[in-house]
Amino acid sequence: MIYTNGRDFHLQNDRISYIFRLLPNGQPGHVYFGARLPQRDDWSYAQPLGEYPNTVMQPDNWSYEWVKHEYPTDGSGDFMEPAFVIEQPDGSRVSDFRFVAHTVTAGKPKLAGLPATYTETDDEAETLTLELCDELARNRLYLSYTIFRDHPAIARSARFVREGEGAATLRRAYSATLDLADSDYELLTLSGAWSRERHIHRRPLVEGVQGVYSARGASSAAHNPFMAFLRPNTDETHGEAIGMSLVYSGNFDAKCDVGTLGITRAHIGIGERGFAWRLEQGESFQTPEAVLVWSEDGLGGMSRAFHSLYGRRLARGVWRDRARPVLINNWEGTYFDFNEQSIVEIAASAAELGVELFVLDDGWFGHRDSDNSSLGDWYTYEKKLPDGIGALAEKVRATGVKFGLWFEPEMVSPDSDLFTAHPDWAIHVPGRHRTEGRNQYVLDFSRREVVDYIFDLMDKVIADTRLDYVKWDMNRNITEAFSLELPPERQGEVLHRYILGVYDLYERLTSKYPEVLFESCASGGGRFDPGLLYYAPQGWASDDTDAVERLKIQYGTSIVYPQSSMGAHVSASPNHQTGRLTHIDTRASVAYFGAFGYELDPRKFTQEERETVKEQIAYYKARRELFQFGDFYRISSPFESNVTAWASVSRDKSRALVGVWQVLSQPNPRLTRVCLAGLDPSKRYDYGFGVASGAELMRVGVSLREIALKIRRWGDFLGTVLELNEVE
């Protein structure tokens, strides 16, 4: 519901309220974001302008400082971080956007060319658009707010329109600012590196600017485009949590500024570093979407709100709600060393085990025997596959599995036909050294002809092979960002235009091939973000397939992203990333909580392992809806404990699958009980060793020793899944 009298604006659903009101000068001032409040007409009492020192509240003679803003401007009295900066044609950087009008519409309009949350029917959400104008500069600003009926979430974005003569340049254009009334919060971010993606980092706020960013041309493994503000006592189940997530895959800033009087100003949007967008008369700029979630049920409540919104109203297409196939990927099984015979053997061997989809990874095209050639040459490597990729697809299908292929569409190898023909298509600054990453360059996806060319090649392969699945990889970041197509004054647009090109190719391929399942990837989880979730309902969470490392990666990823979005595979032991030896049951127990598969050579299994894997696949298939789409409850954190536990619970709470892992073995260990979460306290559950009520299982818990005895193994890296079923 959106209430407004043209001065006060209250967006409200069953759980939350988001309120702002016009300041005396016509700029929107923030009032409140939190638990649902009853409507009142006049919110002036909650915006007591006189409470701030040195604040003169006369419409045209006042100070902006210490007032909470919706979308703060720079250079006229508010000295904290602004939401945007426009360099006007005269070189000045001051703006003054004042309210002109507003509209309220049912549903949620699309953002042209950009991924965004959506509605399926108009009654699922309402959208408020605020129109503001800077009369002197003749710029217009539209601030958009959507409130969802069924989610404690607000989606926001901004659009700038240049109406005056001469060009203005946007030097910063964030998607949303949120001014919090105090700074008694801790900042949580998901940070890491290749193979250690999305680890949880939590620290108290201090005065000044703090946060995370990417300047790599991709959202990156270093930081996810997300941050949360938690009260110091907020835990998994209790306390306030505010999440801010950016639906974007390129450079971003997610940061906050704690001011002198303790206001916390949070911003999320396109990364400012290197960004400059020129607006000629009549041109406009649309920011990506930011999603703000509020929860008083702790971090777990916030995560489940993101999961349901992102799982059902950001991910799209036929695969959004469909159980995902059990796949086998040959990457860790063969790397580049395969031929038609070995691939068909692997597929046949996997099919016998119950695998449903075979994915041929890197090395099937051009003359690619290692990572130093052929990217861009998306046609069969005939030395390996003499009958062509189409024939291979048929032979693989004949074994009883579907067929998927790996591409790295945005890249070109210096040693490739494509680079020989079009060296100018690789991003570079003329005359300067071109930095290579993994022996490759990045194609200039800001150019339409480049995207068209790659579309045509991929289109042909997908049609020839009648492909069922695409793994879209991206293995290096962008350096020497520059486009030969753009004039000097537009070079600050390259990285955003690049991402728009990526989205354009995804849009064209996913709409032409709606039945194809897309999985995003970027050296593992280097671009695992909400932007790509819109096109690809699952992403390869990390190149690190070690079960123990995966506990942290999947636990951290679950802060924002649902289980169905996380590609998770069983690989060989010793693990290729860590050298760690783990039992195959432990490896499977972690990978079950995602889009499950195997990444190894099944021909190397012993007969006993084959039986085990057959059982694993049958077990997973019988429960995969619950593993992939259940409500997720984190129980014990791998960042804080030797014991990790989490649960996927059915919506009616009649069933649950609880993963429990003990990383290191301990002699004569302390008695440990794992208190479950997310159950119905009044229901009774068979949990495998007996029957207990939900209240008992959540308060008294299950004995870790009992679990270990059930597994009948000991040593390091133990893990299992408990299955809970309601009994009368």
Nearest approach, Cβ of residue 542 and ligand DGJ (Å): 8
Tokens of 303: 């995560």
Closer CB to ligand DGJ, residue 68 or residue 527? 527
Q: How far is CA 610 from the centre of its chain?
A: 35
Q: Are 317 and 510 in contact (CB under 8 A)?
A: yes
Q: Cis before residue 574, ω within 30 degrees of 0?
A: yes
Question: How far apart are CB 616 and ligand DGJ at their closest, in Å?
Answer: 21
C-beta atoms surrounding 235 within 10 Å: 13
CA distance 44 to 49: 9
Closer Cβ to ligand DGJ, 333 or 524, answer by number? 524
Which range of residues in 48-56, 65-73, 273-281, 516-524 is near ligand DGJ by CB under 6 A? 516-524
Say whether residue 523 binds ligand DGJ (CB under 6 A). Answer: yes
Q: How far is the CB of 520 from ligand DGJ (least distance, A)?
A: 10
Quick check: 599 and 331 in contact, CB under 8 A? yes
Residue 473 is a catalytic residue: yes
By the rule CB under 6 A, 328 interacts with ligand DGJ: no
C-beta of 194 vs 513, nearer to ligand DGJ: 194
Say how many C-beta atoms besides its own lie within 10 A of residue 173's C-beta: 24
Q: Does residue 377 interact with ligand DGJ by CB under 6 A?
A: no
Q: What is the dihedral of CA 475, 477, 481, 482, to 10 degrees?
A: 10
Nearer to ligand DGJ, 496 or 552 (CB): 552
Is residue 475 part of the contact set for ligand DGJ (CB under 6 A)? yes
What letter would DSSP give residue 699? H
DSSP class of 195:
T
Site string for ligand DGJ, 342-371 (x = CB under 6 A): -------------------xx---------
The residues that bridge with 162 in the sheet, in sequence order, are: 139
Say if CB 525 and CB 542 are below 8 A apart: yes
**Is 377 one of the annotated active-site residues of the chain?**
no
Give 712: exposed, middle or buried? Use CB within 10 Å, 0-12, 13-18, 19+: exposed
> Quick one: CA torsion of 256, 637, 653, 621, rounded to 10 degrees?
110
Tell me what percent of the chain is helix, strand and coil, each rounded to the nearest 5.
25, 30, 45
For ligand DGJ, the binding residue among 473, 493, 529, 585 (CB under 6 A) is 473
Is 288 or 567 the residue whose CB approaches ligand DGJ more closely?
567
Binding mask 391-420 for ligand DGJ (x = CB under 6 A): ---------------x--------------
Kindly tell me which of 475 and 672 has the beta carbon lying closer to ligand DGJ: 475
For residue 343 the two structure tokens come to 């691939």
Smallest gap from residue 234 Cβ to ligand DGJ (A): 34
Closer residue to ligand DGJ in complex, CB, 194/306? 194
Q: What is the 3-state secondary structure (H, E, C) of 329-395?
A: ECHHHHCCCCCHHHHHHHHHHHHHHCCCEEEECCCCECCCCCCCCCCCCCCECCCCCCCCHHHHHHH
**523 φ, ψ (degrees, to nearest 5):** 50, 50
Characterize 614-629 residue by residue with b for buried, 16 or more Cβ atoms within 10 angstroms of its Cβ, and e for exposed: eebbeebeebbbbbbb
Q: Are 661 and 590 in contact (CB under 8 A)?
A: yes
- What is the 8-class DSSP label of residue 707? H
Cα(first)–Cα(last) distance of the chain, in Å?
Answer: 41
* Residue with Cβ nearer ligand DGJ (240 or 362): 362
Nearer Cβ to ligand DGJ (540/685): 540
Q: Does 376 bind ligand DGJ (CB under 6 A)?
A: no
* Residue 26 to residue 155: CA distance in whole angstroms: 23
Q: How far is the CB of 219 from ligand DGJ (least distance, A)?
A: 15
| In the complex, least distance from residue 214 CB atom to ligand DGJ, rounded to whole angstroms | 18
Residues paired with 294 in a beta bridge: 242
Residue (319 or 540) nearer to ligand DGJ, CB? 540
Candidate ranges 446-454, 519-527, 629-637, 674-682; the one touching ligand DGJ (CB under 6 A): 519-527
Stretch that binds ligand DGJ, among 32-40, 517-525, 603-611, 700-708 (CB under 6 A): 517-525
For the bound state, the minimum distance from the C-beta of residue 345 to ligand DGJ, rounded and expressed in Å, comes to 20
133-162 residues near ligand DGJ, rule: CB under 6 A: none
Pick the catalytic residue: 377, 473, 529, 601?
473
* Candidate segments 85-93, 121-129, 521-529, 606-614, binder of ligand DGJ by CB under 6 A: 521-529
- Going by C-alpha positions, the residue among 330, 334, 340 that lies closest to residue 387 is 340
The least distance separating ligand DGJ from the CB of residue 599, rounded to whole angstroms, comes to: 8
How many other CB atoms are found less than 10 A from the CB of residue 42? 11
Find out whether 82 and 62 touch, Cβ atoms under 8 Å: no
Active-site position among 78, 257, 543, 631: 543
Please work out the total of residues on this chain that contact ligand DGJ, with binding judged by CB under 6 A.
11
Cβ atoms of residues 455 and 470 within 8 Å:
no
Q: Does 78 bind ligand DGJ (CB under 6 A)?
A: no
Nearest approach, Cβ of residue 567 and ligand DGJ (Å): 9
Residue nearest to ligand DGJ (CB): 362
Minimum gap (Å) between residue 408 Cβ and ligand DGJ:
7
Q: How far is the CB of 434 from ligand DGJ (least distance, A)?
A: 21
User: Residue 318: exposed, middle, or buried by beta-carbon count in 10 A (0-12, 13-18, 19+)?
Assistant: exposed
Q: Which stretch binds ligand DGJ (CB under 6 A): 52-60, 277-285, 518-526, 555-563?
A: 518-526
Interface with ligand DGJ in residues 530-589 (CB under 6 A) = 540, 543
Helices 389-398 and 340-353 cross at an angle (nearest 10°) of 30
**26 or 414: CB nearest ligand DGJ:** 414
Closer residue to ligand DGJ, CB minimum distance, 258 or 532:
532
- To the nearest whole angstrom, how small is the minimum distance from the Cβ of residue 350 to ligand DGJ? 17
Q: Among residues 126 and 410, whose Cβ is nearest to ligand DGJ? A: 410
Q: What does the DSSP assignment read for 56-124?
A: -EETTEE--TT---SS--SSSS--S--SEEEE-TTS------EEEEEEEEES-PPPTTS-----SSGGG
Q: Note whether 331 binds ligand DGJ by CB under 6 A.
A: yes
Q: What is the nearest approach in angstroms of ligand DGJ to the Cβ of residue 328?
A: 13
Asked if residue 521 binds ligand DGJ (CB under 6 A), the reply is yes
Report if residue 702 touches ligand DGJ, rule: CB under 6 A: no
Q: Of all helices (H) and strands (E), which one includes residue 17?
A: strand 16-22
Give the interface with ligand DGJ as residue ranges (CB under 6 A): 331, 361-362, 406, 473, 475, 521, 523-524, 540, 543
User: Would you please indicate which residues are annotated as catalytic (active-site) residues?
Assistant: 473, 543
